[in-house]
Amino acid sequence: MFSPGLFSLVLASFLISPSFSATLTSSSQLSTLEYDYIIIGAGTAGLTLANRLTENPKVTVLVIEAGVSDEGVVPAIAPFLGPTLTPNTPYDWNYTVVAQDGMLGRSFSYPRGRLLGGSSSANYLIHQFGTDEDWNRFGSVTGDSGWSWKNMQQYVQKHEKFISVTEDGRNTSDEFIPSLHGFNGQVSVSLGGIAQPIDDRILATTKQLPSDFPFNQDLSGGSHSIIGLGYLQSTVGGGVRSSSSTSYLANANSRPNLKVLINYTVTKLLQSRTTAGQKAFRNVQFTASPGTGPLLTAKARKEVILSAGSLNTPQILQLSGIGNSGDLAKFKIPVLVSNPNVGSNLRDHVFLPNIFNVAGQGSFDDLIRQPDLINAAVGEWIASKTGVIANNFINFFGFSRVPSNNPIFKSVADPAPGPKSPHWEIIPTNFWINPGIPQPSSGNFLTLVTALLSTTSRGTVKIRSTNPFDKPLIDPKFLTTAFDITAMRESVKGALRFVKAPAWADYGVIPFGPLATVSSDNDIDNYVRSLATSIFHPVGTASMTKASSSNGVVNPDLTVKGTDGLRVVDASVFPFIPSTHTQGPVYLLAERAADIIKSCAN
């Protein structure tokens, strides 16, 4: 999204960033290869678990992470620069999706964070919890009321450290609802620190088009509806990104019972024995990334916990002989646990940049284009952790639903979990955003990103070979259902209505590129299919179902069906995709998972 030149610039200054975490870089630094728990993946969920499980000084934990340290990586710390971390960098897994039939046969990058903190170190910092309707559906589908919001809301207090004071010192009392938040947790969450030139126009639009874009004081989720438009909340505190690494890991880093090994890839899980007819997997095979060293085996006395994410978790399961027997047979992998659901049910949110030329000044386009401007801004951030670089590049976002009288609902049930949960999202941004097309050399732009949230298309993640360093085959099957293309069409119409508000009349807003030529529904559909990509929120590839169900991959306690000593704790277990950005729900998932694991150990 940002230019390669900008990425080079911020990399050139990375050594001046403070260190957030001490880690081990060689297996020779480990005094033992036997621990109570082995966590695979030092991402959003993995480091949350590592912190909570090692609160007991008698419990030992090893975390194995394929990626690198976040220490000294400015784009992983400076909020505005987050988008420069992906794609095609050392901090990204650099995955691509297979050709997408619903997107005119296009293939494109599919970023995932490959560093401490995982995607919480590389995402766009947006923080929500999911709606109570999302969580209540999880509770219903799994048969475990513990996943319902009544129980899950307690983890907001444990997880979130909301900061209401902003850099510009404004009164924020009408920008969030305190009762929805935690103030003494681990991860810092805050509102935008400084105003942007388009902010007043956005707020005016909520007053001028209240039926389309009503103002909503708090969009974090929970029991409060997130329909409407309001202030963005980001994982930022003190002008720096707050990730699972800079919060959960940093707060546990001095514990002698916690070891975090980076630059090592888990190649597969090894069966340790059979217990009560179930195969136990407490041995983990790993090697230096990218496979330059010997194969090593670590042993878990209690459990192995997969927190490798929705793409790597099913890959590791399949390489270990846990998966679809037909798929495994193609590679002559012995089938230890036959489960056709491993790697299926992949769901994701769809991202569409609707770009407009604007005559108004004050966009971020020149800041991003001109090295002297961005260099000065980075310099301010280095000196004082203030200014544009200390903040997210977004101040507002909003959520909407397909009208209930839309003909699609005559043939398709509403896929959202309830009326407080949206079908699509709109994110007004003050500059050019298009992951597939470089920023023009001149001009000012307004990009209204719209995103499909209640997706019904379901895809797969499958291994490409028996080589753990081969990237998996990722097929989200984007926009392959009638509802999904209908909702995206409605989002484009919504974006066009948004800029028709009187607030934008003197801003010279003109649709740019292919958006300028759309007129019919068919035009919009073709436009969507030609331009949309992913917003990088994959879930569902190790779905959680009732313990009695043969569907799904994990039970409500997150244990892998048909196994002993093996759990999955990451976004892959969500049976449906949340109606919000996913990092917050993953944090809450991991907090409850830690309590479940502790309870089982006791």
pLDDT in tens, 351-387: 999 999 999 788 999 999 999 999 999 999 999 999 9
pTM of the model: 0.96
CATH code, domain with 331: 3.50.50.60
pLDDT tens digits for range 64-87: 999 999 999 999 999 999 999 999
pLDDT higher than threshold 60 for residue 59: yes
What residues form the annotated binding site for FAD?
266
User: How much is the pLDDT for 360?
Assistant: 78
Q: Where are the alpha helices (DSSP H) in 439-552?
A: 482-498, 521-531
Q: With respect to residue 157, please indicate whether it lies within any of the assigned structural domains.
A: no
pLDDT tens digits for range 199-248: 999 999 999 999 999 999 999 999 999 999 999 999 999 999 999 999 99
* Residue bearing tokens 């056709």: 340
For the CA atoms of the chain, what is the radius of gyration?
Answer: 23
State percent of the chain over pLDDT 90: 93
CA pair distance 581, 577, nearest whole angstrom: 10
Q: With respect to residue 312, please indicate whether it lies within any of the assigned structural domains.
A: yes
With the CA atoms of 513, 232, 73 and 533 taken in that order, what torsion angle do they form, in degrees rounded to the nearest 10?
Answer: -40
**pLDDT confidence tier of residue 276, bands split at 50, 70 and 90:** confident
Q: With respect to residue 548, please indicate whether it lies within any of the assigned structural domains.
A: yes
| Across 399-422, average pLDDT | 98
Is 224 catalytic? The answer is: no
Tokens, residue 198? 């388009």
pLDDT higher than threshold 70 for residue 6: no
pLDDT higher than threshold 50 for residue 88: yes
Same domain, 453 and 567: no
* Cβ atoms 324, 339 nearer than 8 A: yes
What residues form the annotated binding site?
266
Same domain, 417 and 449: yes
CA distances from 201 to 92, 363, 492 (A): 35, 13, 19
CA pair distance 252, 245, nearest whole angstrom: 10
> By residue range, what is the domain housing residue 237?
73-111+181-243+347-534
Which secondary structure element, helix H or strand E, spans residue 564, and what is its range?
strand 563-564
CATH code, domain with 228: 3.30.560.10
* Cβ atoms 226, 580 nearer than 8 A: yes
Instruction: State which of 481, 513, 534 marks the end of a domain.
Output: 534
Same domain, 313 and 333: yes
pLDDT higher than threshold 50 for residue 403: yes
Same domain, 478 and 371: yes
**pLDDT confidence tier of residue 4, bands split at 50, 70 and 90:** very low
Nearest partner of 119 among 535, 588, 397, judged by Cα = 535
pLDDT tens digits for range 430-453: 999 998 788 999 999 999 999 999
The number of distinct structural domains making up the chain is 2
Three-class SS of residue 298? strand
User: How much is the pLDDT for 155?
Assistant: 99
**pLDDT confidence tier of residue 3, bands split at 50, 70 and 90:** low
Q: What does the mean pLDDT of the chain come to? A: 95
Same domain, 221 and 366: yes
What residues are paired with 567 via a beta bridge? 305, 559
Same domain, 431 and 546: no
* Cβ atoms 396, 230 nearer than 8 A: yes
User: How much is the pLDDT for 16?
Assistant: 39
Same domain, 233 and 334: no
* Cβ atoms 249, 255 nearer than 8 A: no
- Annotate 310-339 with DSSP letters as a single string: HHHHHHHHHHTTEE-HHHHHTTT---SEE-
Same domain, 408 and 335: no
User: How much is the pLDDT for 18?
Assistant: 37
